[in-house]
């Protein structure tokens, strides 16, 4: 992906998701490449994406990309598996800056981790229906079997903040039962919201199952890509500059409360944007 003519190292990275899930990717970017500036957009007015059509997810993603480009971002991270599955190809064709999704890095990690060749993927209906994880993993290793399970109730549970709750526990048990029966040894958290209920998922799956969080791998791939294209910011941003900025399409205060509970950086504000203008 050689798309770096004239981009500035000091320019921010654009990151987006349908809601709060992409914050799990932001958290990893902050940890792994702490000099970078980030513009985050969470489409809180239109979440969930996972039950919407491909055309709709492409249209929403294109609007968000236009919004992020008003900040002269040097790259965009699609921190949403659903948008990566449905819209990444289209977005990539139409912009001049590098853009990466979360599916490929997650698929690569799972293909490397599995020992018994049985990989489970939990994700939205859209991501599972697209078969994108199966496709990427099979490109890396034809001998594994991938078992997909759509878990549509997880996103609303996470958006409501029910991260440690008996209701989440019960629903997770029902969703995961068939994957436990199949005896998978690797489980991909194929939706960026799911790492937020990782402890529940890990407890139910048991310690023999490795949970793969594509957020970690995505931040790693982002770092490598920026380095290869000489776009990695070697200087920390100037003191007092707004290193991390957050935007949403609705309910900014609720978003800030949530963000502060999972990112220890201290997010002071988020601004609500009218997406119809983009």
**Catalytically active residues, by annotation:** 80, 191
Cβ of 29: how many Cβ atoms within 10 Å?
23
Cβ closer to ligand DGL: 81 or 233?
Answer: 81
Does residue 195 touch ligand DGL according to CB under 6 A?
no
Q: Which phi-psi region, left, alpha or beta, contains residue 176 (left: φ > 0; alpha: ψ -120 to 50)?
A: alpha
The C-alpha angle 46, 38, 263, rounded to 5 degrees, equals 75
The answer to the question of residue 80 lying near ligand DGL (CB under 6 A) is yes
Q: Measured from the CB atom, is 81 or 229 closer to ligand DGL?
A: 81
Nearer to ligand DGL, 7 or 78 (CB): 78
Binding residue for ligand DGL (CB under 6 A) from 82, 130, 134, 213?
A: 82
Counting contacts by CB under 6 A, is residue 218 touching ligand DGL?
no
CA distance 44 to 160: 12
CB 147 within 8 A of CB 119: yes
- Alpha carbon distance 222, 101 (integer Å): 10
Handedness of CA 258, 218, 86, 157 (dihedral sign): negative
Among 155, 209, 226, 270, binds ligand DGL (CB under 6 A): 155
Using CB under 6 A, which of 168, 192, 213, 233 touches ligand DGL? 192
204: CB partners within 8 A, 6+ apart: 169, 172, 173, 176, 180
Asked if 78 touches ligand DGL (CB under 6 A), the answer is no
Among 12, 14, 42, 48, binds ligand DGL (CB under 6 A): 48
Per DSSP, the residues of 190-227 read -STTGGGGHHHHHHHH-TTSEEE-HHHHHHHHHHHHHH
Q: Of 11, 100, 122, 191, which lies in the binding site for ligand DGL, with binding defined by CB under 6 A?
A: 191
Q: Which of 13, 26, 47, 119 binds ligand DGL (CB under 6 A)?
A: 47
When asked if residue 275 is in the footprint of ligand DGL (CB under 6 A), the reply is: no
| Cα–Cα distance for residue pair 7/149, rounded to 1 Å | 40
Distance CA 6, CA 263 (A): 32
* Minimum CB–partner distance for residue 81 and ligand DGL (Å): 4
Q: Judged by CB under 6 A, does residue 18 bind ligand DGL?
A: yes
Stretch binding ligand DGL (CB under 6 A), from 48-56, 93-101, 112-120, 266-274: 48-56
List interacting residues with ligand DGL (CB under 6 A): 17-18, 21, 47-50, 80-82, 124, 127, 155, 191-193
């Amino acid at each position: 992906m050689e798309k770096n003519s004239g981009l500035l190292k000091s320019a921010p990275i654009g990151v987006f998701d349908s809601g709060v899930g992409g914050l799990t990717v932001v958290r990893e970017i902050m940890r792994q490449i702490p000099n970078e500036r980030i513009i985050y957009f969470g489409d809180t007015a239109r979440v969930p994406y996972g039950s919407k059509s491909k055309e709709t997810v492409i249209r929403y993603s294109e609007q968000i990309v236009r919004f992020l480009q008003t900040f002269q971002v040097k790259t965009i991270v699609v921190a949403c598996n659903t948008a990566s599955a449905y819209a990444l190809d289209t977005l990539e064709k139409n912009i001049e800056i590098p853009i990466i999704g979360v599916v490929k890095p997650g698929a690569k990690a799972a293909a490397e981790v599995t020992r018994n060749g049985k990989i489970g993927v939990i994700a939205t209906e859209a991501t599972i229906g697209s078969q994108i994880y199966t496709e990427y993993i099979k490109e890396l290793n034809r001998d594994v079997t991938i078992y997909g399970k759509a878990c549509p109730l997880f996103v609303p549970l996470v958006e409501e903040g029910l991260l440690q709750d008996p209701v989440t526990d019960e629903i997770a048990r029902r969703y995961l039962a068939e994957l436990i029966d199949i005896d998978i040894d690797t489980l991909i958290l194929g939706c960026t919201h799911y790492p937020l209920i990782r402890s529940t998922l890990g407890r139910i799956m048991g310690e023999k199952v490795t949970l793969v969080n594509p957020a970690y791998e995505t931040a790693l791939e982002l770092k490598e890509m920026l380095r290869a294209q000489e776009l990695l910011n070697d200087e920390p941003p100037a003191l007092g500059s707004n290193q991390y900025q957050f935007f949403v399409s609705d309910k900014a205060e609720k978003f800030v409360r949530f963000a502060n509970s999972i990112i220890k950086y201290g997010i002071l504000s988020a601004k609500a944007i009218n997406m119809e203008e983009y």
